[in-house]
Each structure stands twice: as C-alpha cells, then as structure tokens.
Amino acid sequence: MKIEFTTKNTVILSIAVFVLLLIVGYVFLKPTGKFETYFVDDKFTPVSDLKLKAGEAYVYRYTIENQSSDIEYLVNGILDNCTQVTGTSLMNKSIKVMTCFDIKNGQPDKIVLSNDFGVRREVTPANFSFLQSWMFFDFFQPWMLGAKEGFVWNSSRIIEHENLKVKTVFMRTYEVKGVETKNGREAYKVDVYFKELYNDVTRNNGYEGTIWIDKEKRVLISYSSVLSKIDLVKAPFALAK
C-alpha cells in the first residue's frame, strides 16, 4: 500500500508529533519543586481619607469588545473607621461582592463573594491592585489615596521557581500626569504602564491604559485601554455627559 504524503498529511503528522512531544515532556520532564508568588509595592503616604458616605451608590459600565454590563457599588455604612461596600451585578443581581475599606489607608478587609443560591467564598487579597478583575472593586484601590501631582507608584507580582531558578516579575507603574476635568469632575489623570521581566531581563513593556480618579472622593471616574473601558454612569454627584 502506497502512502502519498500530501501537504495536508504532512501538516496533520507534524501536529500529531508536536502533541505527542508535549505529552511526553509533561509526563517525564515536568519541573519538580514549588512556585512561590509574592508582591512588592512601593510605600506611599495617603494625602486624603476615603470620603465615601453611607447610602451613596456608584454605578459603573464595563465595556469589553462592544459588550457592556453595569455594576453598582453601594456604601452600606461606616463602622470602626471602616467603610462597608457591596458590589452588585445589575445584569444578575444575585451575584454580590462585599468588603470593608479602612478610611485612613484604604486597605480592604477580606472580600466576600456570594449569590442567592447559598454559594459563598471569602478571598483575602495579598495585593489589591493586582486583582484587576470584574467585580473586584475596580472603583477604588488603596493607592488612590496617595494620588497627587508628581505621584508615581510601582506594584509588582513576582513568581519564582526554586528548582529552575526562574524569576518572573510583572510590574505596573502608575504615574499622575496632572489634573483635568473628566465627566464634569476634577480628576487626577493617571497613566498606567506595564513591564514583564524574566530573570531580570525585560521581555515585554509598554502603555496599559489611563485612569481618572475623582480628586475629592478618590474613586474611579473612568478607565480606558485598548481592550476595555470602565465609566462611572451614576453617582451621588452630577456627571457631565
């Protein structure tokens, strides 16, 4: 029986060999040892307290690839210098996330995720600024209390493998570029840059996006990047359209 190796057959064979090598490599050559993940942040001095008030509601519109959803953050109250906030998806109101922010330094208590079906999960973030995820309180992060003219802040997530001697650093840099009016509010304009280092060699870096922080309230007014947007669409104060 004669087998003709057409281009299609060759491609299929190449893929099969590649997959086989991956399987063999995973089974016999996968690294042993453990990964360690930790965070290193610049220290900063807050120049403002968190000025949220009980009963205030902030609604944000998250837009990714022309798909939008709204999330409401409600200030439940203030107890022992801690501002209690609940976030609710307005697309599915059974999904909620709760935490409490220290008024003086902005640091959050544990985050509690829950729904109406009895599912409840508690998360204690090692680094709040690296969550950067839907419904993880994007509207406020502790470093926002330190924003002022000339403010620069670095936050790094570091992953090390003890046997392979591999160290990967993911860094974000926040730089205040000035004060301007955004959506009718006086706001700090903050450019965000990222850098990825592999064993101290820069592998990737560039501009990530821009954040506008309300100068008085210290909450997010708007965020814009190539891939996504977040906009404050309802607030306890007037917003310009």
Q: What is the pLDDT along the chain (241 residues), one digit of tens a residue?
A: 443 434 444 444 444 444 444 444 444 444 455 778 888 889 999 999 999 999 999 999 999 888 888 999 999 999 999 999 998 888 888 878 888 999 999 988 877 877 777 777 777 665 555 444 444 557 898 999 999 999 999 988 888 887 767 888 889 999 999 999 999 999 999 999 999 988 888 888 899 899 999 999 999 999 998 888 999 999 999 998 7
What's the confidence (pLDDT) of residue 217? 96
Ranges of each domain in the chain = 1-30, 35-234
Nearest to 106 by CA among 44, 191, 166: 44
Say how many residues make up the chain.
241
233-239 — which CB contacts under 8 Å span 24+ positions?
A: 233/59, 233/60, 233/61, 233/70, 234/57, 234/58, 234/59, 234/72, 235/56, 235/57, 235/58, 235/59, 236/53, 236/56, 236/57, 236/58, 237/185, 238/184, 239/183, 239/184, 239/185
The owner of tokens 């953050």 is 73
What's the confidence (pLDDT) of residue 212? 96
What's the confidence (pLDDT) of residue 76? 95
Residue 21, CA atoms < 13 Å, CB-side half-sphere: 6
User: What span, in angstroms and rounded, lies between the C-alpha atoms of 114 and 120?
Assistant: 4
What's the confidence (pLDDT) of residue 222? 94
CB 91 within 8 A of CB 69: yes
Give me the phi and psi of 83, to 5 degrees please: -90, 115
- The architecture (CATH level 2) of 35-234 comes to Clam (2.50)
